């Protein structure tokens, strides 16, 4: 424990005076005034920032916005990506829309990627959903979330200024390459049932929230499953990153009846290879590249993880609850299950943006 605290405090020291609290207390804002939880689709082209530089240093510049400038456009011009607009907002005490002529500080040096400060350790909660239904809960099964309750959760995240990460952003954080906003979450949906398309996807489009869909390929085309046509629409939206959840949804840690060890290893390989091959064959032209895997039932062991690494998957997702810090083992990413019988207060209690340095 002393070694752990020493390392964390050293990292906090490296962040120095430029480090901001991991999860600053921000006042709630109205749904109308709040920024969207995630950028629309793949980052949309932004109008080029038309303002001018009023001064510059090695690590920053002062920007004087023109009428119509956006933080995303300024970030695209000076930081290389509209997804980095949060860095400008954070450097200006969570500034809203730029005002013409009112100076903004634009940090040119990216924040430390590990999310450590003297106030705590940044964590990203990965939320895990399954099926959805129309109306309001409770539903007939806790694995089914009512659409009205899902919308209430999205609205709460928006009001509290959480931003939903895309899979690539989350991967960059876990690998220590990129910082993410202080209040970050990631939304995932498992299995690939048609209720996702019918009830959740319209809300994701309404609030422009990116999500990762982990699908087992044997469900595609079944009466209860998504069709290839629906998957193509999801992929075209730019909001849904389609990734692998095995072929059959079997428990990968257990031998099936009359399955010997040789057969098990061969079948395990196919459970990892087939969904990637099939999804990229059908959806690759739409930009789908399968790099991540969610374990059926969240179950993994050394054999499964070794096979996952051999197949070149970058991240493996469990259903072990809790927030993910930058040092999380990539093959054992935590995910927090969201159930249909939870109240909004119970949902909010499960979203963790930071934890004390004393807690590994």
Average pLDDT over residues 242-247: 98
Q: How many CB atoms lie within 10 A of CB 186?
A: 25
Average pLDDT over residues 247-265: 96
Burial profile 34-60: b = 16 or more Cβ within 10 angstroms, e = fewer: bbebbbeeebeebeebebeeeeeeeee
H helix intervals, 118-197: 147-159, 167-174, 194-195
Mean pLDDT of the chain: 88
Q: Higher pLDDT residue, 119 or 169?
A: 169
The pLDDT of residue 43: 53
Average pLDDT over residues 180-192: 96
Q: How many CB atoms lie within 10 A of CB 130?
A: 20
The pLDDT of residue 45: 59
Q: Confidence class of residue 197 from pLDDT cuts 50, 70 and 90?
A: very high
pTM for this predicted structure: 0.85
Q: How many CB atoms lie within 10 A of CB 215?
A: 28
Does residue 295 surpass a pLDDT of 80?
yes
Each residue's pLDDT tens digit, 31-82 = 333 334 433 344 555 678 899 998 998 899 999 999 989 998 999 999 988 8
Cα separation, 311 vs 313, in Å, equals 6
Q: Which of 96, 94, 95, 65 is nearest to 78 (CA)?
A: 65
Average pLDDT over residues 181-209: 97
Each residue's pLDDT tens digit, 102-154 = 999 999 998 898 888 887 899 999 999 999 999 988 888 999 999 999 999 99
Query: Any idea what DSSP says for residue 193?
Result: B
Q: Confidence class of residue 351 from pLDDT cuts 50, 70 and 90?
A: very high
Does residue 322 surpass a pLDDT of 70?
yes
Q: Confidence class of residue 11 from pLDDT cuts 50, 70 and 90?
A: very low
Q: Confidence class of residue 229 from pLDDT cuts 50, 70 and 90?
A: very high
Q: Confidence class of residue 176 from pLDDT cuts 50, 70 and 90?
A: very high
Q: Confidence class of residue 20 from pLDDT cuts 50, 70 and 90?
A: very low
Token pair 């119509």: residue: 68
The pLDDT of residue 360: 67
The pLDDT of residue 255: 95
The pLDDT of residue 47: 75
Q: What percent of the chain has pLDDT over 70?
A: 86
Does residue 9 surpass a pLDDT of 50?
no
Does residue 10 surpass a pLDDT of 50?
no
User: What domains appear along the chain, each with residue ranges and CATH number?
Assistant: 43-109 (no CATH), 120-355 (3.20.20.370)
């Amino acid at each position: 424990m002393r070694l752990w605290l020493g390392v964390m405090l050293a990292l906090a020291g490296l962040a120095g005076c430029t480090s901001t609290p991991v999860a600053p207390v921000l006042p709630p804002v109205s749904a109308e005034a709040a920024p969207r939880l995630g950028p629309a689709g793949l980052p949309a082209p932004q109008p080029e920032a038309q303002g001018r530089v009023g001064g510059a240093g090695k690590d920053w510049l002062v920007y004087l916005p023109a009428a119509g400038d956006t933080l995303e456009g300024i970030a695209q011009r000076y930081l290389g990506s509209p997804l980095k607009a949060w860095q400008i907002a954070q450097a200006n005490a969570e500034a809203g829309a730029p005002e013409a002529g009112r100076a903004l500080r634009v940090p040119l040096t990216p924040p430390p990627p590990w999310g450590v400060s003297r106030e705590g350790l940044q964590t990203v909660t990965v939320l895990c959903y399954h099926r959805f239904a129309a109306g309001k809960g409770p539903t007939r099964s806790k694995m089914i979330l009512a659409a009205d309750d899902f919308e209430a959760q999205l609205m709460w995240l928006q009001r509290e200024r959480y931003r939903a990460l895309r899979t690539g952003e989350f991967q960059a954080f876990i690998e220590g390459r990129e910082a993410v906003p202080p209040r970050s979450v990631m939304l995932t949906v498992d299995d690939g049932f048609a209720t996702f398309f019918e009830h959740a996807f319209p809300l994701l489009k309404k609030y422009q929230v990116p999500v990762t869909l982990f699908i087992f390929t044997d469900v595609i085309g079944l009466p209860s499953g998504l069709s290839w046509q629906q998957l193509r629409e999801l992929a075209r939206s730019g909001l849904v990153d389609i990734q692998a959840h095995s072929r059959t949804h079997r428990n990968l840690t257990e031998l099936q009846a009359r399955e010997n060890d040789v057969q098990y290893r061969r079948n395990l390989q196919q459970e990892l290879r087939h969904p990637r091959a099939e999804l990229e064959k059908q959806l690759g032209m739409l930009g789908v590249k399968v790099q991540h895997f969610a374990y059926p039932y969240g179950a993994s062991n050394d054999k499964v993880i070794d096979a996952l690494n051999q197949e070149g998957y970058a991240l493996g997702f469990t259903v072990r609850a809790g927030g993910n810090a930058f040092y999380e083992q990539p093959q054992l990413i935590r995910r927090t299950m969201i159930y249909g019988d939870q109240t909004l207060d119970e949902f909010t209690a499960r979203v963790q943006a930071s934890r004390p340095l004393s807690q590994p």
